[in-house]
Structure formats: C-alpha cells, structure tokens
Copies of this chain bind each other. A is one copy, B any other.
Amino acid sequence: MQTTLIDQGLNLMLYGMGTVFVFLTVLVFATGAMSAMVRRLAPESDAALLRDNDKASSNDNIDEKVRAAIKLAITEHRRR
C-alpha cells in the first residue's frame, strides 16, 4: 500500500457511497416490480386469506396460562 490514508478514505467514500446509492436505487425498482408482480399474481383476496390463516394460527398460540387467566378473569368478575 503506497497510497496515503487520505487516498484510502477517498476511495472508501467514493466506492462506498456509490454502492449504497446503486444498491438502494436498484432496490427501489426491484421493490416496485415485485409489488406489481405480486399484486397481479396474488390479488388482495388471496392475501387476505393468508392473513386470516395467520390470525387463526396465532389464536392457537394463546397458551395455557392465558386460557387459565381468562377463566380466572371471568370467574373473578362474576363473583363481584
């Protein structure tokens, strides 16, 4: 390395900032293209379906402790 520290820094800035901009610009277009494609292939109804599955399985996940808590809550509430 005969380059000075400042040269290295300039290099880093040039290539680094360049890469960041190129990458994120490509990502803007890729994201746009992806969204367009997904919305054509899997329109909202389908997506909504997916989201419903999500909710169902997340309800399944409510664990025993919480179920016990619910029962307790209801029981305690009634007692009052």
Contact count band on A:
10 to 19
| A68: chain B residues within 8 A (beta carbon) | 58-59, 62
Least CB distance from A3 to B in Å reads 51
Copies, count: 3
| A64: chain B residues within 8 A (beta carbon) | 58
Binary per-residue interface labels of chain A (10-39) against chain B in the complex, 1 for a CB within 8 Å, 0 otherwise: 000000000000000000000000000000
Given A62-B65, A70-B72, 6 more contacts at CB 8 Å?
A58-B65, A58-B68, A62-B68, A66-B66, A69-B73, A77-B77
**Which residues from chain A sit less than 8 Å from chain B, CB to CB?**
58-59, 61-70, 72-74, 76-77
